[in-house]
Amino acid sequence: MATTFSIPKAEGLKIGAQNRFTQPFAEINSKDILRVGGKNASLGEMIGHLASKGIQVPDGFATTADAFRYFIAANGLEKPLREELAQLDLKNFSNLDEIADATHQLMLDATMPQDLIQEITAGYEELCRKNDRLVEVAVRSSATAEDLPNASFAGQHESFLNRSGAEDVVRAVHQCFASLFRARAIKYRVDNGFDHMKVALSAGVQLMVRSDLASSGVCFTLDPESGFRNVILISGCWGLGENIVQGAVNPDEFVVFKPTLEAGKRALISKKLGSKAKTMIYADNNSSGRTIVNTETPEAKRKQWVLSDAEVEQLAKWSQLIEEHYKTPMDIEWAKDGISQKLFIVQARPETVHSSKDPFIKKEYELLSEGKVIVQGSAVGSSIASGVARIIQSTAESDKLQPGEVLVTDSTNPDWDPILKKASAIITNRGGRTSHAAIVAREVGAVAVVGTIDATSKIKDGQIVTVSCMQGKTGSVYEGKLEWREYELNFRNVKMPRTSPMMILGDPDQAFGLSFFPNQGIGLMRLEFIITNAIRIHPMALVYFADLKDQAAKKEIDDLTSGYSNKEQYFVDKLSQAVATIAAAFYPKDVIVRMSDFKSNEYANLLGGKEFELDEENPMIGFRGASRYYNERYREGFRLECEAMKRVREEMGFENVKLMIPFCRTVDEGKKVVALMAQYGLPRNVKGLEIYVMAEIPSNVILAKEFAEVFDGFSIGSNDLTQLTLGLDRDSAIISDLFDENNGAVKWMITSVIRDARSAGRKIGLCGQAPSDDPEFARFLVEQGIDSISFNPDALLKGIENILRAEEASNSSKS
């Protein structure tokens, strides 16, 4: 190999343990944080302990803290640096940029000592020799206090990519040293109580992965919003990963469930396609000295996933091994080489926000008024804030933002940190849940809505807005100042009753956060919310897509299902992923999934639905529930529902999922549906599958013993049962005062079906608001011996309290 360098080679000098200023990654481990910083110590730890398990980490070496201190001493920098930093306005940081510019320039004007140059050169030449070519490297900063559990230092210092040749590498190391005195790094040290001159900087020189020709991203070994520990979140974009860190793109997102990953099941439970509008690549030699450029991603690639399912699974397995090794949740960077097509882990650090919080203590927020939504995006945090919106185009406009105002911008990077910390809320056009703005928002406890696309054009500078992230993964920005309330919940010492308190849930975006509430699982998961919000298309319009007459609906369906040659699989994928997400959140507790229960007018509102639905005078008691499933008008749609549930249970491994049939009018109808489910691959009582029925029609009560021979359990739908027992329309304002679950006839129905279910050895629960609103109704259910009661999340704690009182009263009366 012939190489030519413009600075002297380090003849006869070999990189190794005897050297003072450099250390190969292979000779570094996690005990070397004070010597090479957390980032480099972690790389060495993985190479030494995890490479044997198949995890690929690019080779390299690190300059030591001694090298940095030698550089400072050789140039006599400590005194002038301290003098400049002593002038910093620690109250308002009014002169932060001025002090940073002065100290940074002091570092850049200094000279790299010749013996330090020699060791860096020797380390780089050794990498070239081992790879038999002039290699490209990344030179990354790693502070000696970096990546500790109490302070991440993530993104505070600079990295330099695609460096080649010893002179270029030495220059990049020098620039890394100088980055210790960028404004954001100075402010971070002040905020976290670090003495400026006691933090040293190590530079990691690592072989470049050609992710500019493929993809890159990050992995979190927990859900970064809720702190839920059983999942791995993987984000990715085309090209270099700086676009994700800086929030410059909306990335693809993949969620993997750890227990089923270990069991060898289909553990990828959720996929979200990002727009990935930009691709960061290495610049060619004619690009004005720039080493990287950001290009527009071609439309075809925006619609492609950056990783295959197999690659997602491989990254997830590696992430789990890394977490197990470090014994703490991790924040990991990955890259895919576009030449070799191999995946690499290029960085791993402890996750610093949720891993230190108690997930069983939650501060809850509730909007008390409604407003007009201006924009929506990905929610970060789970709180609400209001203030004056301030549109900031660049850090040069930082003075425009006053403390407590709402920052609105295109995207952010670490230079924005001092600005972000002043904001009560953060709104960006671009970025995902793992972007820089999102990470900083979590660290400082701010609410953020990222990836809105057009916030800077739709929100007016100076406008009063309310930012709410209480709707799961979707954050909303409202006009004006809305009213809300705050309260703290502590789930640690909640006493659980004998009667199982379960939840009613339809939105998978809320599942991980709600899993920390005291519960015994999900007593009712409605598919309607998922079909309306995530799928949006009538299933029969997917089965018979080619025959659709409504061309406008057909085009919209074609756009939504882009990437699916088989339109039916779009429905199966979306539905299975949503159900799997909720099943994962509450695993291994029961999750009872009710098959679709739209009325015909509701089905007609789905895309393409009008071609498959009839107008009915009274849809509430018309073509709904079980009667649809075996009817030719919907039978193929029910097949898709069954395919999704089979995938969830068998391929994805969620045997905690039970299925429930709504509005089943007759015993024969129940038999038809159960037989059809078996035909579609869901045979009752095979592989543990239980099929329940809603008890919401008087016939279900009167013939409960017969229904018990067809089904494995009952769930009382108190709303429908009340209206059908009393013969009233619960939506009618004229007679709404007659709707009452405490009516004697309704209670007789409930008493009867509980008695007959228990005598048949079948479980029975109830889904409804009444047991939380009315302690007497809860007491009535407990006295009848009901097995479970399901509540909406906002009513769960009150419901548990009412059940406990009822059980105590029941015990007292017996004694």
- Point out the catalytic residue in the list 174, 354, 436, 538: 436
**Which residues have a Cβ under 8 Å from the Cβ of 618 and sit 6 or more positions away?**
none
Say how far apart CA 603 and CA 596 lie, in whole Å: 10
Is 436 annotated as catalytic? yes
The answer to whether the beta carbons of residues 772 and 795 sit under 8 Å apart is: yes
Q: Could you count the other beta carbons within 10 Å of the beta carbon of residue 442?
A: 20
Chain centroid to Cα 655, Å, comes to 24
Burial class for 338, CB neighbours closer than 10 Å (0-12, 13-18, 19+): middle
Q: Is 290 left (phi over 0), alpha (psi -120 to 50) or beta?
A: beta
| CA dist., res. 386 & res. 135, Å (int) | 51
Is residue 474 helix, strand or coil? Answer: strand
Rounded Cα gap, residues 486 and 364, in angstroms: 6
In the set 219, 237, 469, 767, the catalytic residue is 767
Grouping H, G, I as helix, E, B as strand and the rest as coil, residue 179 is helix
Residue 17 burial (C-beta neighbours within 10 Å; 0-12, 13-18, 19+): exposed
Task: Give the tokens for residue 592.
Answer: 């009872």
- Angle (nearest 5°) at CA 368 between 365 and 370: 115
User: Does the active-site annotation cover 237?
Assistant: no
List the beta bridge partners of residue 202.
142
The number of CA neighbours under 13 Å toward the Cβ of 542 is: 29
Task: Decide: 156 and 37 in contact? Cβ < 8 Å.
Answer: no
Instruction: List the structure tokens of 589.
Output: 């507790």
Which 3 state secondary structure label does DSSP give 550?
coil
Beta bridge partners of 441: none
Residues 190, 181 contacting (CB under 8 angstroms): no
Tokens of 63: 């300059």
CA distance 644 to 631: 19
Torsion-angle region of 536 (φ positive above 0: left; ψ -120 to 50: alpha; else: beta): left
Number of helices (H) and strands (E), helices first, in the chain? 30, 30
Task: Count the Cβ atoms, other than its own, within 10 Å of residue 755.
Answer: 14
Q: Which residues are catalytic?
A: 436, 767
